[in-house]
Amino acid sequence: MQIPKISLLVCALALGAAMTTPAADTPAQAAARAAMEAKLKELNAQCPATNTVETPTAVKKGKSAPAKNDAVMKLVSSETKPVTSQQKTQADKAAAEAKAKQDAAQAAAQLKAKKEAQAAADAKADADKKAQKAAAEAKAKQDAAQAAAQLKAKKEAQAAADAKADADRKAQKAAAKAKAKQYAAQLKAKKEAQAAADAKAAAEKKTKAEAEKKLAELKQAEANAAKPVKVDAPGAELGLHQIAAPPLPIPASKASRLQTLLGKYKTNQITPEEYHNQRAVILAEP
């Protein structure tokens, strides 16, 4: 079976384009493509008369078909019939379509890479924004907590100062009260001492007055006792004198005292009961 050379070239180019469209060519693939195009130009320039290409009749049982790249290289390297102008145009068209597909795939890959890069940049910017927002929220919370702690410390300090001032006022009040109480106690003690001194002085004065009164009474009694006692005895008008009683068998001091006591009784300074009681006391003395 004979196949025109241009058909083989078109098939080769189509297979090559189909193999390269999924992704952009590597430098090695680009170099291989350039070499292939140069080889095709060489073949078109030479244009040999006729050559046949035998297709494989069958594949041996149990073996796989040759790889696509090997088939392409074999088809390219095989001799074909002379290329006509129409076939060349079709080959150029197929090559242009393949290149357009390759450029479109490369542009799509670039666009995809650009979109992925933009998405990564957007994701990074979003992450940065979230991180900044989280940092700002954390700082705001920290500032709020610090402000709350400072306010709490200030309130506690104010409460402590108020408590200290209240305690100081209470202590001053208690000290003033204790001082007033002490002053009142001292004043009371002073008054009591003065009252005691006054009472003592009054008692001494009273005792002195009583002693002076008793002394005066004693002197008066002694004076009365020294005076002769007038006795309205019977027969006095007749010129008869009363017989003096004999002296008592007691000491002179007792007799003097009994005489003084009798004078008090006669002058109504003491009652009869007091006279007899004091007389019994004087007589009972040794």
User: What CA–CA distance (Å, rounded) separates 180 from 159?
Assistant: 31
Domain-embedded: residue 43: yes
Q: Is 106 exposed, middle or buried (0-12, 13-18, 19+ CB in 10 A)?
A: middle
| Helix residue ranges, H only, the chain | 5-20, 27-46, 68-77, 85-226, 252-266, 272-284
> For residue 11, what are its two tokens?
């098939």
E strand map for the chain = none
Average pLDDT, whole number, for the chain?
75
> Higher model confidence: residue 173 or residue 233?
173
What is the share, in percent, of the chain residues with pLDDT greater than 70? Answer: 67
Residues with Cβ within 8 Å of residue 224, at least 6 apart in sequence: 260, 263, 267
Q: What pLDDT is attached to residue 286?
A: 72
User: What is the pLDDT, as a whole number, of residue 206?
Assistant: 83
pTM for the full model? Answer: 0.29
Count CB neighbours of 225 within 10 A.
17
Residue 256 lies in a domain: yes
Does 180 reside within a domain? no
In a domain, 21, yes or no: yes
Does the residue 89 lie in any domain? yes
Mean pLDDT along residues 116-142: 91
Number of residues written out for the chain: 286
Single out the residue of 43, 107, 111, 41 nearest to residue 79, CA to CA. 43
Tokens of 203: 């008692």
- On the CB side of 245, CA atoms within 13 Å amount to 3
**pLDDT of residue 245 exceeding 90:** no
The last residue of one of the domains, among 46, 81, 114, is 114
In this structure, of 32-46, 61-75, 83-97, 178-192, the range with the lowest mean pLDDT score is 61-75
Range of the domain at 100: 5-55+65-114
What are the two backbone dihedrals, phi and then psi, of residue 13, each rounded to the nearest 5 degrees? -65, -40
Lowest mean pLDDT among 35-44, 53-62, 174-183, 184-193: 53-62
Amino acid 88 reads: K
Q: What dihedral do alpha carbons 150, 155, 159, 161 form, nearest 10°?
A: 50
Q: 94 CB contacts (<8 Å, ≥6 apart)? A: 10, 13, 14
Whether 285 maps to a domain, the answer reads: yes
What does the block give as tokens for 44? 């078109």
Q: What is the count of structural domains for the chain? A: 2
CA dihedral sign, ordered 56, 57, 60, 62: positive
Q: Does 41 fall in a domain? A: yes
C-alpha to C-alpha distance for 212 and 224, rounded to whole angstroms: 18
pLDDT band at 86 (very low <50, low <70, confident <90, very high): confident
pLDDT for position 118: 93
* Domain-embedded: residue 241: no
Q: Above 50 in pLDDT, residue 53?
A: no
Both tokens of 245, joined, read 């009683």
